[in-house]
Amino acid sequence: MNPPAEKQNWVGKPLPRKEENRLLRGRGRFSDDVKLRDMLYLRFVRSPYAHARIVSVDTAAAEALPGVVCALTGAQIVSQTQPFIEIGPDPFARIKDYPLAVSKVRYQGEPVAAVVAESAALADDAAELVQVEYDALDPVIDAEDALRNKSVLHDEAGTNQVWNGVFEYGDVEKAFREAAYVINIDRMHFHRFSSTPLENNVVIGCWDSKDERIYYECNNSFPSFAIQFLAAHLQVHIDRIRVETSDIGGSFGIKITSYPQMAICALASKKAGGRPVKWVETRSEHITASAHGNERTFRDTRVALDKNGVITAIASRHIDDCGAYPRYEPLGCVIWSQVFAGVYRFKNARIDFSQAVTNKCPVGPNRGYSRMQHLWFLERVVDICAHELGIPPDEMRLRNYIRPEEFPYTTPNGCVYDSGNYPKMLQLAKQRIGWDEWKKKQAAARKEGRLIGIGIGTTLDSGTNNFGQSQIVNPGLPYSGNSQGANCKLDIYGEVVVAVGSCPQGQGHETTAAQVVADVLNIHPDLVTVRTGFDTERNVHTGFSGTYASQFAVSGLSAVHGAAQKLKTEMKRLGAFALQTKEEDVEFGTGAQGPELRAKSTGEAINYWGLANLVNANSAALPEELYEVTLNCRYIWRAPFKVPDKQRKYGNLTLTYASQLHIAVVEVERDTFIPRILDYVAVDDCGTVINPPIVEGQVYGATAHGIGAALMENCVYDAVGNMLTSTFSDYTPITAMNMPKVKYDHIETPSPHSYSGAKGMGEGGAAPVHTISAALQDALFAEGVFIDDSFNNADSLFRALVAKEISQAGKLVKVEKR
């Protein structure tokens, strides 16, 4: 008899990633690796203008080039398609958004035509022969200017304001009347930056006219959303669109918005007689015209505080710049409110939020999207108040943090923070960085005239959205809740195979899903095969499936867990029949012939092959009452959400709230004004950690992304809408060479809202952006400089410190003592 099966608990173990075997040996399969028979190549002709009327598009010379198969223009697209669905309400619901510009271009790099040829090089050459005549229009580069509507981008809307709403909770005016201090901050600005995934966007589209089916191989990271847009636009049934993704080399949200390019590849394939058409984005195209993160301006901020520096109210006006087309973006008008209060206890607040279109690249979800802008705003507010009132920034935070005993904590707008312990994270971070020692070093350095600052950034990574929040933006939208699907089966030869509706881009889903299933079935994770990538024909996706918004640990793994539990139940029934015992007597484990079920009472066992055989190949032996056992179990996990109150803008918008607390020590060099990170610590709390190295890796990645954003990466436009940072020479993404040594630590406050206690993580809340701004503020406060922008490099610090052109605290911050 085999010994009793011991429970292993693979969840929580530092299991090496199953993906490494493939990816580190160059055996990954990315979309650009896919070569289909008779494949053609597509190249876009893009607008050099930010805003212009299209007078004419002449593709004749390009089409006459040998090897060119066809070309597409906006006018041709209009005759074959419907405009894309608009998420926002009227008047922006009226705009006509097509994947190629039709009568106007609205940002530099907007596709105007597409050329399809037998090779990528030919398509490149042919694209240069397309003649486009433009009539330049006044561009609108600044969102505040855009709201004045002097030059309107979308004539159908008649305004540049995409959305406006006031989020007001508590009694704001009373709090201001009773305040001991009121601090006024004139303007702050969160800059525009993007993500630079190793792999750019890639689409292969194939329109099979014979049976009206469209096949995509691509690296879109939210395919279930993309197909909803594509089906309506291309006027085909959604079930006729198959999307497959393979390995994806990073997305960070940016690849959610590649559906316009997907539409073009399908239409080009249709025009080319059904031959597959591949488009591989160049790096410059990616930087100029894929998607950027939201730029946001914070105006007329007023903060009420009591005599102890506890914030009692905040009022502010926020203007979000979503670039030329709203597309996914009206959702950004509400997504920030998932973290309305940040990590703080204030109950009274009024935020007047507007979003505007400008003649810049459309924005899209970008790591921590919409929330990081707001969290940066809150962290700046807390930090500025601390400095103005002479309260140490760590003490200021402790006075204002939500307290550990208050969880689950309901925010003023009805979000329920599941768990957390911010004071403990602060204590741990201070200990890891050596706070007291750095304070002494800082004091000594200041006597030498050195500019050293220590900054704290506390942020949230809200995961698993309630899509009902979309109805706050547009009450007519048909979305609410959240769900994810998974399938777990025992294959015909007894292999455990898992399929999920996610499309991982480096997050280690194969490994963590295997850990979850391994725990359920009490087998080794190596015995679990997880199908990588997304495929609509696996039938495991829901309308929310994809990989975005820090949710896989909750939604994805809950679905996997549910499917594995269903499979286990079926296996147990079947095992009890096969072993002629009761279900309670059946245990799961691994024996000499691999994973098996055994009867505890007799020691008799049947391995997985034998079990699967009973259903799939030896079914005559199966009694009728077991006919419903398929060993192929689909499970849809649904988040326990309600539709928010649309009028009050109130409700639980997210299921879990991971938190991050970073501390940075930064020095601004007196001679060069270059900011240098001297020390850095990142403390993370994502609840129960499923796989520690995977979590740690994602913390490092998010930290690098944030440091790059804070100090190096900025999408710069000139006054007429030329993007001046369209190559890596100018955009300067962060690399390993620029990364400081990051000290990592974590605490675990398990979430009561997920089966495992895990919280979604990975986006990191852009903690380094807030942290570095705070450190620079600490370094430069005595110099009269106010850190009012999220991007700070040597040039801007010179302009603030020496030229005194910008960021002068005396002009921008006013303190009223009551």
Please report, as ranges, the residues that interact with other proteins according to CB under 8 A.
Answer: 48-50, 108, 134, 136, 284, 288, 718-727, 730
Q: Which amino acid is at 256?
A: I
Shortest spacing between CB 714 and other proteins, in angstroms: 13
DSSP-assigned letters across all residues of 42-106: EEEEE-S-SSEEEEEEE-HHHHHSTTEEEEEEHHHHHHH-PPPPP-S-TTGGG----SS-SSEE-
Query: In this structure, are strands 104-105 and 52-58 parallel, antiparallel, or unpaired?
Result: antiparallel
Q: Which residue has the tokens 């030869």?
A: 493
Query: Side chain identity at 665, as an amino acid letter?
Result: V
**Residue the block writes with tokens 């096969």:** 578
CB of 137 to other proteins, least distance (A): 12
Q: How far apart are CA 33 and CA 247, in angstroms?
A: 10
- Give whichever of 621 and 724 is closer to other proteins, judged by the CB atom: 724
CB of 704 to other proteins, least distance (A): 24
In this structure, are strands 496-500 and 181-190 parallel, antiparallel, or unpaired? unpaired
Instruction: State which amino acid sits at residue 618.
Output: N
User: Which residue lies nearer to other proteins by CB, 282 or 593?
Assistant: 282
CB of 727 to other proteins, least distance (A): 6
Q: Collapse the DSSP code of 523 into the 3-class scheme (helix H, G, I; strand E, B; otherwise coil) and give the result.
A: coil
What tokens appear for 280 in the block?
Answer: 């591989």
C-beta closer to other proteins: residue 602 or 727: 727
- HSE at residue 267, side-chain half, CA atoms within 13 A, is 29
- Looking at the Cβ atoms of 284 and 616, the one nearer to other proteins is 284
Q: Which is nearer to other proteins, 288 or 487 (CB)?
A: 288
Neighbours of 198 (CB within 10 A): 10
Q: Which has the closest alpha carbon to 461: 757, 699, 107? A: 699
Question: Is the four-CA dihedral 432, 434, 439, 441 of positive or negative sign?
Answer: negative
Residue 685 in 3-state DSSP? strand
What's the min distance (Å) between Cβ of 100 and other proteins?
18
- Give min distance, CB of 141 to other proteins, in A: 11
**Residue among 55 and 617 whose Cβ is closer to other proteins:** 55
Residue 722 beta carbon to other proteins: minimum distance, rounded to whole angstroms: 4
Give the nearer residue to other proteins in terms of CB position, either 133 or 173: 133
Least distance in Å: CB of 718 to other proteins? 4
Location of structure tokens 């809340």: 765
- The smaller minimum CB distance to other proteins, of residues 284 and 793, is found at 284
Taking the complex as a whole, the smallest distance from the CB of residue 143 to other proteins amounts, in Å, to: 19
Question: Taking the complex as a whole, how short is the minimal distance between the CB of residue 52 and other proteins, in angstroms?
Answer: 8
Contact indicator for 536, 485 with CB cutoff of 8 Å: no
Q: How far is the CB of 724 from other proteins (least distance, A)?
A: 5
- Residue ranges of alpha helices (H) inside 358-434 are 371-389, 393-400, 422-433
For residue 730, the minimal CB distance to other proteins (Å) is 6
Question: If we measure between CA atoms, which residue out of 73, 69, 71, 76 comes closest to residue 133?
Answer: 73
Between residues 85 and 716, which has the closer beta carbon with respect to other proteins? 716
The residue among 121 and 444 lying less far from other proteins, judged by its C-beta, is: 121
Q: What is the 3-state secondary structure (H, E, C) of 593-611?
A: CEEEEEECCCCCEEEHHHH
Nearer to other proteins, 108 or 550 (CB): 108
Nearer to other proteins, 129 or 517 (CB): 129
C-alpha 752/C-alpha 637 separation (Å) is 16
CA-CA distance, 577 to 439, in Å (whole number)?
70
Kindly state the smallest distance separating residue 723's Cβ from other proteins, in Å: 6
Asked whether 539 and 250 are in contact (CB, 8 A), the reply is no
Cβ neighbours of residue 145 under 8 Å, at least 6 residues apart?
none
Non-local (6+) Cβ contacts of 380 within 8 A are 185, 188, 770, 773, 774, 777, 787, 788
Which residue matches tokens 């993580």? Answer: 761
- Compare residues 524 and 799 and give the one whose CB is closer to other proteins: 799
